[in-house]
Amino acid sequence: MPAETASPAAEPRLLVSLATYNEAGNVAALIADIHKVVPQAHILVIDDNSPDGTGRIVDELATTDPRIHALHRPGKLGLGTATLAAMRYAMEHDYDLLQNMDADFSHPPRYLPGILAGMSKYDVMIGSRYVAGGATENWPVARKVMSRSVNTLVRFLFRMPVKDASGAYRCYRVSKLREVDLGAVRSRGYSFQQEVLFRCYKAGCKIGEYPILFENRRAGSSKVNRQEAMRSIGMILLLGLRNFFGLERRR
């Protein structure tokens, strides 16, 4: 009898999430570039009622492409809650992988194959600026110092072996997200990325990093807010000290 050949493993169902607010100049081109690299990906755009019509553009694209989905929210509710909404959507719709990206081209789609390949060994893969081969483009010295300092603080207080805990260019294994205590996440601003990574780590997720060049946005204006940045540093200190002194339980 001829030897039986193993059937190829089914390709993981991939959802790419993009949180948008006034990204009309970027969103259509970004979706097209993502599909050039990972044509099988479904894309969920979570739009916070952008005045520039970003949500309308996505709705128009979705009418002719079943891979595109839109979630419209009533106002500017923030990146953290948008990411949590994407996580819930991925779990409810039985995706295998959730890839989160910024919607302004600062997370170039060309790195997706490398990040996704890492999911064969890890539960969370970070598109990392701070491992060998990673970098940032045209950042002022003050921003570089702040980012490096926050990541050093996170490594010390959270005891996570991660170089880049603050970047949002990440892939999550959805089955492991089901084990993470997402209801315990307190952050809604810039500290969300550090906290949700910490919650994943506490739930036993294996974390890997893949080098990227963080590029400047192509269109529109930055959403960086100094006051929110200071609030987020305060939240990192609170959560980090609680973990350092053993007050944060492992799920």
The secondary structure of 102-148 as a DSSP string is ESSSSS-GGGHHHHHHGGGT-SEEEEESSSTT-EESS--HHHHHHHH
Domain ranges of the chain: 14-219
For residue 123, how many C-alpha atoms fall within 13 Å in the half-sphere facing its CB? 17
pLDDT tens for each residue of 182-239 = 999 988 878 999 999 999 999 999 999 999 999 876 665 555 566 666 777 778 887 8
Write out the two tokens for 56. Answer: 């309308």
Rounded to a whole number, what is the distance in angstroms from the first to the last CA of the chain?
Answer: 51
Higher pLDDT, 248 or 92: 92
Q: Between residues 193 and 251, which one has the greater pLDDT?
A: 193
User: Which architecture characterizes domain 14-219 according to CATH?
Assistant: Alpha-Beta Complex (3.90)
- Say if residue 6's pLDDT is above 70: no
pLDDT of residue 126: 98
Say yes or no to pLDDT of 96 above 90: yes
42 vs 149, residue with greater confidence: 42
- Look over the chain and give the mean of its residue pLDDT values, rounded to a whole number: 90
pTM of the complete model: 0.90
- Within 10 angstroms of residue 100's Cβ, the number of other Cβ atoms is 26
Q: What is the pLDDT of residue 240?
A: 76
Cβ(124)–Cβ(206) below 8 Å: yes
Phi then psi for 94, rounded to 5 degrees? 60, 45
Q: According to the model, what pLDDT value does residue 245 have?
A: 79
pLDDT at 243 (0 to 100): 76
pLDDT digit string (tens) for 102-159?
Answer: 999 999 999 999 999 999 999 999 999 999 999 999 889 988 998 998 899 999 999 9
Whether 1 has a pLDDT exceeding 60, the answer reads: no
pLDDT value of residue 200: 97
Q: What is the pLDDT of residue 221?
A: 57
Residue 56 has pLDDT above 90, yes or no: yes
Q: What are phi and psi of 106, to 5 degrees?
A: -70, -20
